[in-house]
Chain A
Amino acid sequence: MTLKYCLAALFASCLSAQASTLEVHVSTPAGKSVEDAAVVLEPVAGIPPPREARASIAQQDRDFVPYVTIVRTGTAIDFPNRDPLKHHVYSFSSAKRFEIKLYAGKPAQPVIFDKPGEVALGCNIHDWMEAYVLVVNTPYFAKTSLQGRALLADVPPGRYRLRFWHPRQKAEPPAHEIEIGGRPAKLEQVMDVAARVFKPRQPTDAELY
């Protein structure tokens, strides 16, 4: 757990005395921690009003950074290109079909992810580049760290539907409702996730010489 996370959690608990935190650890059936798993809490009653939000998925060293991005519906995501070459980002996913044709630097317009669902991102120039965006209809979500931990802070007490998702999940675990009380809760979750297969990359020009 990073210091930043700790501070954020501490800050949230300080901000609202009623709010609570949910810490989840995701592991494979073999007991291996799962990174990049999305932990989503959907309030059963009433969704908080949307807020304008922005996110960014960079293309750096001919790769998407980060690999998994979780955003609330309506979030505008920028695709800054930090490489000295052009990329062609696309998605054929039904939740968001788009295409940013060959560009350099930061595209003029961010892409608004206005429908919930999963979106697979690819680059038409670099087939190995892949990234995933999970668009959810709730502000309460988190992504597991390298150690498989995710911390959802400032979750108001109430009843929630707890959902898990991973881009390489073999099957999505069934969602179930939980009650978030005044005290922080801890949860263990098992997910069957395939190991990430890195597609072969083309060597860079520098590597060629």
Chain B
Amino acid sequence: MIFRSLQYRIAIVFVGLLILVMALMLAMVTRSNERIVAAEMTREISAGALVFKRVIEQNRRQLETAATVLSADFAFRDAIATQDQPTIRSVLRNHGARIGAKVMMVINPAGELIADTQRGDAASSSYPVPDLLAVAETQGMSTDFKQMRDGQLYQMVLVPILAPRLIAWVAMGFPVDDRWAVDLSQMTGLTISVVRHDDKSTALLASSLDGARRLALPAELQTLAQDTPKLLSFGDEHFQTLLLPLGKSASVVLQRSLEQAEAPYRSMQNALYSIVMGAIAMFVLGSILFSRRIAGPVNQLAAVAKRIQEGDYAHPVPTLPPDEIGQLAVSLDRMRQGIAEREQKILKLAYEDTLTGLANRVRFLETFDRHPKGTPAAIAVLDLDRFAMINDALGHPIGDRLLGIVGERLANIVAPPGLVARLWGDEFAFLLMGADEAVATRFAELLHATLRAPFALDGQRLDVGGSLGIALCPQDGQDANTLLRRAELAMYLAKRKQIGFVLASGIGGDPPHEHLSLIGEMREALDRLEFVVHYQPKLDPSTGRIKTAEALLRWQHPAKGLLPPLSFIPFAEQTGFIREITPWLLGHVIAQTARWRAEGLIIVPSINISARDLLNPELVEQVRKLTAAHELPPDGICLEITESALMEDPALALEHLNQLAAYGTRISIDDYGSGQASLAYLKTLPVHELKIDQTFIRSVIDSPKDAAIVNSTILLGHALGLKVVAEGAETSADLEWLRNSGCDEVQGYGIARPMPAAELPGWIAAFAWKLHQ
């Protein structure tokens, strides 16, 4: 409906505008025409009046000339001079006819009528228009319009007859009749009427009008003033009327018909009206068609947009003519494709694990939630065995690729509506719709069989095992989170017991104490500051001074008391949680070192770094930032790295070590001698210190073999420019032996046990004092 109204709105707006413009134009044309007609009427009337006056004046001159010529005619004069009535009358008629005078009279100089063509016996009567004679006597001749006895108006000309002195006057009358009026009407273009009017009545004497208007004219003239144009109406016809004096007792009425003057404009206006009407009709039709052409495609596009809005991206936008709307359609289609692609991508990101292409945890939970309540289902959690080691040994890229192919193989054993998801790390989850314990058990066997075949990666054969925990719905829980947690616990048990798979129902409600989500506990421990750092001082036996100490992480467990690193660090390393612990440890130790320095105690702490930490590309930056933040010199700390940590990814480890050494951080090789690293290999590393494994130190006194190894190691280390540290010195004999062997630093219970940071300054002070004693 909206689009229909758009279509009509377009038409209505355009047609409305056109009508408005046309109406304005017509109004202006009409008004302008009225003004033009009015102006033209006035102009025509005044021009006509001027022409009329000229013609009248010209007529008068012509008549006077004719009369003068006649009066000078010798025979005429001769005849007048005879004083013989019949002769005079006949000459009057004869000569009068020559110039078209209807009335001819001869008057003697005394003013007496001698002869008159109107009456036979004119003699001795007086001349009927004495005023004319009076004028002629002073001016030589005179002319005026006079109504004569017959009621007819005449233009009278009175001229003298000279022989050579005045012997008589001859008066000639030219009739002012309808023919006169018609002639003048043709010359002036106006209607001409002659009236004689006094106070009481107006009589029409001559007119170019005919019929009713002729009869109606006198009555209309009563209101008319001389020389002022006025519009008079005769029935339905209107006349611009001007009254001019004609002689002393008559007036001439000049008229111009308004309708006649308007006629050309009327026909023009009518033509204009038809054109306007035709234009509006054509425009209405045109704009309806045009708006339909616009609204149609818009309609189609709207339908497409609505489908897109509803999430249906399948229908392509119809191809439209290549105008603006066509371009809009093309854009809309691109938008549709773009939205479809992006939605696909977002869905992938939201529901897909990018590493394996499997479903992620969100998708897994959602899928489970969609399954009908109460129907049986099983959730299985698989954690790959030894994956951490593979990852540590071969590097993350290999580990990631391994996860990818494992995922592929796992996906093959679950048919829809079942689902495989990667929860995180090397942990996978399976949703088995409608599975009971038997089905789940068979699935576990299938899974193990599937994993038993080795995976080939870059030509290497990798054996990957896994531990599986299975929780059943509804027995073990109703919601996905509960089921997942229980399956996870079962999986941990299976892993610990190395028994392939465990059913959650088999381990009861309470998970085993030790594995009580150790990761969660560690995370809480970090938050609750249950981790503490103890420091074990290292003694320089040649000087008896304490310049360094090993920072050792302890867990002050609320229930189990102080836990040593060996009880949780391997697990943290295996689960990757070490990545959260090490930054905390670095920050904590560096801050403590900085505080001691501020107090005047310069201690270089050694911090243990795992293989995972060393391979972490952020380690170097973390060290750099922390030392800089606490204004500690780069060689203010020492990082202890085990030989095995170096072996996992020697290239990456070397790169990171080089970066650290370049920065200035001291690097120590921990537990030297327990691994296979040769000194020749160590020589290529930017290492400052060798820490001989305590198993050698513990037996230097008892075993001459070990003593020889330690001695040669110290010598070789010194030869390579390395500082050699011994740990595990428990007795003063050990200490004495080590001092004599030239060991640079000694650490062990024989000197001090690890102690809280707060106790170290006091202990050092006491130790120094003891030494001086």
Contact = CB atoms under 8 A, between A and B. Distances in A.
Interface of A: 90-92, 97, 120-124, 127-130, 167, 199
A92 B77 contact: yes
B78 A92 contact: yes
Contacts of B162: 122, 127
Q: Across chains A and B, which 3 residue pairs bring their CB atoms closest together, nearest first?
A: A122-B164, A92-B81, A130-B164
Contacts of A121: 164
A7 B167 CA distance: 41
A130 B77 CA distance: 15
B74 interface: yes
Contacts of B442: none
Contacts of B620: none
A95 to B, nearest CB: 12
Contacts of A128: 164
A63 to B, nearest CB: 12
B511 to A, nearest CB: 156
A90 B74 contact: yes
A198 B74 CA distance: 21
A122 B81 CA distance: 13
Contact of B165 (A90, A97, A123, A130): A130
Nearest to B164: A122
B282 interface: no
A121 B165 CA distance: 9
Contacts of A124: 74
Nearest to B83: A94
24 contacts: A90-B74, A90-B163, A91-B163, A92-B77, A92-B78, A92-B163, A92-B167, A97-B81, A120-B163, A120-B164, A121-B164, A122-B162, A122-B163, A122-B164, A124-B74, A127-B72, A127-B162, A127-B164, A128-B164, A129-B164, A130-B164, A130-B165, A167-B165, A199-B164
Contacts of B72: 127
Contacts of B78: 92
Contacts, number: 27
Interface in B120-172: 162-165, 167
A110 B163 CA distance: 21
Contacts of A130: 164-165
A92 B82 CA distance: 8
A199 B163 CA distance: 13
Contacts of B74: 90, 124
A122 B162 CA distance: 9
A161 B81 CA distance: 31
A122 B167 CA distance: 12
A115 B167 CA distance: 20
Contacts of A122: 162-164
Nearest to B73: A124
A201 B163 CA distance: 16
Most chain A CB atoms below 10 A, which of B78, B81, B163, B164? B164
Nearest to A132: B165
A122 B78 CA distance: 12
Q: Which of A92, A127, A199 has the most CB of B within 10 A?
A: A92
A30 to B, nearest CB: 20
Contacts of B81: 92, 97
Given A121-B164, A127-B72, A128-B164, 17 more contacts: A90-B74, A90-B163, A91-B163, A92-B77, A92-B81, A92-B163, A120-B165, A122-B162, A122-B163, A122-B164, A123-B164, A124-B74, A127-B164, A129-B164, A130-B165, A167-B165, A199-B164
Contacts of B77: 92
Nearest to A167: B165
B236 to A, nearest CB: 57
Nearest to A123: B164
Contacts of A91: 163
A127 B140 CA distance: 14
A122 B77 CA distance: 12
**Most chain B CB inside 10 Å of its own CB: which residue of A97, A122, A128, A167:** A122
Nearest to B82: A92
Contacts of A129: 164
A123 B164 CA distance: 8
A167 B72 CA distance: 21
A112 to B, nearest CB: 20
A66 to B, nearest CB: 15
Nearest to B72: A127
B44 to A, nearest CB: 41
B132 to A, nearest CB: 21
A14 B74 CA distance: 51
A57 to B, nearest CB: 14
Nearest to A122: B164
Contacts of B165: 120, 130, 167
Interface in B156-191: 162-165, 167
Interface in B25-77: 72, 74, 77
Among A121, A124, A129, max chain B CB count under 10 A is at: A124
B693 to A, nearest CB: 162
Nearest to A129: B164
A120 to B, nearest CB: 5
A5 B81 CA distance: 39
Interface in B75-114: 77-78, 81
A167 B165 CA distance: 10
Nearest to B74: A124
Contacts of B164: 120-123, 127-130, 199
A123 B167 CA distance: 15
A71 to B, nearest CB: 19
B619 to A, nearest CB: 139
B162 to A, nearest CB: 7
**Most A-side CB within 10 Å, residue of B78, B162, B163, B167:** B163
Contacts of A123: 164
A171 B81 CA distance: 22
A122 B163 CA distance: 6
A178 B24 CA distance: 104
A117 to B, nearest CB: 14
A201 to B, nearest CB: 13
A152 B78 CA distance: 37
A127 B161 CA distance: 11
Nearest to A197: B140
A123 B77 CA distance: 12
A199 B160 CA distance: 13
Contacts of A120: 163-165
B82 to A, nearest CB: 8
A91 B167 CA distance: 11
A129 B165 CA distance: 10
A196 to B, nearest CB: 11
B110 to A, nearest CB: 13
A201 B763 CA distance: 167
A120 B72 CA distance: 16
A120 B166 CA distance: 10
A199 B72 CA distance: 14
Contacts of B167: 92
A163 B108 CA distance: 26
Nearest to A130: B164
A124 B77 CA distance: 10
A165 to B, nearest CB: 14
Nearest to A64: B164
A203 to B, nearest CB: 18
B271 to A, nearest CB: 62
A97 B78 CA distance: 10
B662 to A, nearest CB: 136
A199 B81 CA distance: 21
Nearest to A125: B74
A90 B73 CA distance: 13
A25 B324 CA distance: 123
A128 B81 CA distance: 18
